[in-house]
Amino acid sequence: MVQIFRFWRPLPIHFMLSSPLKFLPSSKICQLSFLENIASSKMKLAKHELVGHQYSACTFTIFEDVIISPSVSSYGRCLLCFYSFAWLELVSHRTFMPKLLSGNSQKGWPYIQRLLVDLLLFLEPFLSNAELGVPVHFLYKGTLRVLLVLLHDFPEFLCDYHFTFCDVIPTSCIQMRNIILSAFPRSMRLPDPSTPNLKIDLLPEIRESPPILSEVDAALKAKQMKADVDEYLKTKPQGGSSFLTELKQRLLLSPSEAASAGTRYNVPLMNSLVLDVGMQAIQQLQSRVPHAQGTENTVPLSVFHVSAALDIFQTLIGDLALSFS
């Protein structure tokens, strides 16, 4: 069985999927046939290759070529319009998503993350413009159900990749965003907020940095801002710096990008900047006051003044408040 799939793998997946479709109008495309063909092959492969509830490296390669590669390419996203429901069924299938998330030391997590991001990117134009026709509404409900399953069975996955998911979810989708942000590890027990005299800063979990598998500074590097941010946080020029005065302008989108995004600002870039600066500020604070979080005394205010991160946050608050007022 493995030899059959190894022979099948070099076949161009775009040819396999598009050849029967390009001669048919969209109303004649049968998603059920596509779903049955790929799902049956996937189940046969799982039956022969699944050992100890984990897939082998060969199986990962096959799944990437058949399901993941067509979705992340520009051609595949256009083709996704014709079999989006079948594609979502394949991604959330019991022989695919649970097996990739539950074994192989999280080796399957990046695959599911890429698939979910592509699904959210596919829905983003419809959700941003509130154009929820009947098909898009059903696809949106199916996406919410998949996220709810992940929240219940694999909350650690949503926790570790929350930054990437929130970057591609429109700001108007409050329910979808809350599902992701409400996830917490199953090993953690949340405190009761109604507990008298509850002090969040004294909880043991507050000293543990949450794992983030997303590349937080990717947007900063793409816009060539990472080096400037790091330099300002380390040196903080006393005589003033052009970095703060130019910060707002560097966060703006071009007119064409702003028209399509529905906002003047590069939201993923702002998210990357805020989280990256916050993470570095915490590291600086912990290095200067190692036991600050373990004591009941409040951290001296002078500790915050020596950090350049506060200046960046104050600049963002002031400039953005004037822009949105």
Higher per-residue pLDDT: 250 or 40:
250
Whole-angstrom distance, CA of residue 101 vs CA of residue 214: 16
* CATH 1.25.40.790 given to domain 2-181: yes
Whole-angstrom distance, CA of residue 210 vs CA of residue 35: 38
pLDDT digits (tens, 9 = 90+) for 239-286: 667 888 889 899 999 888 888 777 888 989 999 999 999 988 888 877
Whole-angstrom distance, CA of residue 229 vs CA of residue 236: 10
| Nearest of 119, 65, 60 to residue 87 by alpha carbon | 119
Whole-angstrom distance, CA of residue 263 vs CA of residue 308: 28
- 79, 17 in Cβ contact below 8 A? yes
Among 15-24, 146-155, 268-277, 316-325, which is the least confidently predicted range?
15-24
- Residue carrying structure tokens 């937080």: 216
Average pLDDT, the chain: 75
Percent of the chain beyond pLDDT 90?
A: 23
- CATH 1.25.40.790 in the chain: give the residue spans: 2-181
Contacts of 66 (CB under 8 A, 6+ apart): 13, 38, 41, 42
∠ at Cα 115 (112, 120), nearest 5°? 125
Residue 271's SS3 state is helix
- 266, 253 in Cβ contact below 8 A? yes
pLDDT of residue 60: 56
Higher per-residue pLDDT: 53 or 18:
53
DSSP-assigned beta bridge partners for residue 51 = 54
Whole-angstrom distance, CA of residue 9 vs CA of residue 13: 8
Phi, psi of 293 (to 5 degrees): -80, -15
pLDDT of residue 130: 79
Contacts of 99 (CB under 8 A, 6+ apart): 46, 50, 53, 54, 55, 108
pLDDT of residue 228: 92
Mean local confidence (pLDDT), 62-82: 51
- 271, 219 in Cβ contact below 8 A? yes
pTM for the whole thing? 0.75
pLDDT of residue 159: 94
